Structure 1
Amino acid sequence: MLKKVTPLLLVAAVSACSTPIERRQANGTDDFLNAETTPKLTIPEGLNSPTYSKEYDIPSVGTKSDKSIIGKKLDIRAPLQVLPMAEGTHIEETSDNIRVVIDSIESTTDLKQEVFDVIKGYLLKNNMAIRTEDYGSGVIETDWIEHQEVIESNWWGSDKVYTLRQRYSYNIDVKPHGRSGSVMINLLEHEEFYNGEDQKILLSGDDKRRYTTDMLNNAISYMSIERDRAIRAARIKQSLGIKVDLITGGVDDPAYWLADANYNSVWNRLRIVLPEMGFDIVDMDNSKGLFFISLEESGGFWSSLWAEEKLTLKKGNYRLLLEETDNPEQTKILLHDVEDNELSNEAITEVYQVLSDLMQEDRKPVGDSQQQAPVQREERGEGGKKGGQRP
């Protein structure tokens, strides 16, 4: 059957390319395999032997090397290297395999689920079907992945096509603590056809390593894109204001503040807000949800907010505590004195007016919200008006 072509293209009736097998082989003939070894010069008795240069000496073949891999059997391509391009990844390499170690970058994210979603997302995006998956054992097996390349194109007949078919398995292992895990990949099946004929290729260990390295790099590259997107989304979320309510009970019930955000978001925002409120952060313990803070002045900055009214909150040291609630998107904030005693409801209400305003302000997203420079207390003028810009 004649293919539809333009008259100009008819000049080139047939075009041919090298096959994938030929690309891994050195150009030219294999005549060097039959090269004869020339003996050294015979030095007559009584004369000194000349000094021979060792610059071009060929090293001896190692004891573990396969001496049969010569000529066309030798793969001249440079080896591939696993590239841990995604945030929070690095390589652990042994003599048997290579695995990419993945650390969690967000404490609220299920690492195993994240890695599973990344692998499946990469396969789906590239139209690679999944044959089986087992979340419990952490295994994803692909169906046949087929790649075709036209080696010889004939305008009047059928093209000669080189077909590569492979199946892979991804093994995902996450440690019980959930903060780190790893991904390994294995080549399960491999077939190569040229013009419909099976090439019966037997892969060496280096061949399998090359194919699996390429597939693993592609998956990690996809993870890099997904993690960058998640990091940007998290920064935007952290930059948004956090609504804080004042909760007051009865006469005997201490007042506290309730923030509409998860524990980590509230903790990170308070690290910015507390210095802006005039508190110095002396020490902190994230595992206990505890800030040790100090108020160096209870007049001036604070009293200007209420037109020189006398404040209940005095100069000194305090403890600010965070507690998780039944709702993961709400966090309880308590303010105690240095001896961990509850403050009066009046003092909690006074501080709330400033805390609520600062916590609800939207911030400019940055690489790390904790790196935002706190506003100096002198930037507030009378009536609490801001005399400077916050980051």
Structure 2
Amino acid sequence: MKRSQMALVLAASTALGACSFTPPEQAAGDFDYAQQQLKDPIEAAPGLEFDAQSQRYQVPEGDFPGALGAQLNIRAPIVVRAVAAGSRVEETEDQVRVYFDELENMDSLAPFVWENVRAGVSQQGIDIVSEQTEQELVTGWVSETALVGEDELEVVNQRRFKVSMDTASHGRTTAVKVEVLESQSQGPGSALYDAEMGQRNAATALLNALIVEVAVAQIDEDILTTRDTSLNVQAGFNQEGFPALVIDGSFATVWALMGQVLPELGFEIDDLNQSTGQYFTTYSEEASGFDWAFWRDRQQGKLPLVDGEYMIRVTGDRTTTTVTLHYNDKPLSADDLTRIFGPFAAEIRKQSGL
């Protein structure tokens, strides 16, 4: 009897679980509101009248096209991520497009961007079937499989993309846009698939991959230009006015360099976040691998810091970067920075010259 009851409970739980499944593109809950009809307006009692009412929140009457209730796709669209240096997205942009601005020491913007756009398309394993250099290219068919609806029905999407580039007459700004040229869907889930959002998301995903390719090329170029020269380091202030190391190098270069410098100075890297420019570290004087022979004696060369947790923030652009040390959620003072400047500057110059 107990086994039968347990089996019944498990069967009921499975059935309820199946019934309560909600596809990720559909809002949870019921949709009774979608069936509501307009009510007759309330009438004032004889001899009375309503106060004047604001029309601010009045819902206009009329038939409005578009999905409603369970048919409304609530999944957020993919957004264009301008992660390359000098890239940006206009606030009022309604196309899948990114702008690149010329950076200091860049010889020619358009050829550089176009070369890496082509490389990005190839990196995704997509064929290029036609091309007008630095203007546009058309891809071959790209397949994608998705599951839609409560029953997770399969839909196979095939698309061809057009990537176009429009460079301003002065040559210092260029825009790259991706759009779906042709598309077709097949499979049992085709009728449920949101083709409009799917096409925009696919175009955005491809554009983001191209932006990443440009960003990687920028980093590679930074490494090549700084490989044979050590970086200049000075004591100064960051943009917020806090004492900081000021380095004549790009953010990408200095960020990677600090991953080598910090362990040599006795900082164990516990975690990091490049998007916010943060290294989370634990400092220990005994763990330092710094070349003390640089100094006349160990006492002169050691870092006058308390052992403990430090957050190192790296901020900058393609030409200048600052490094700020934080202890107990507060930036080090100008006096503290002066005392550690020598070992830090020496190690940064040493590592950048390798």
Q: Normalising by structure 2, what TM-score?
A: 0.49
Structure with more of its chain in helix, by fraction: 2
Q: TM-score, normalised by structure 1?
A: 0.45
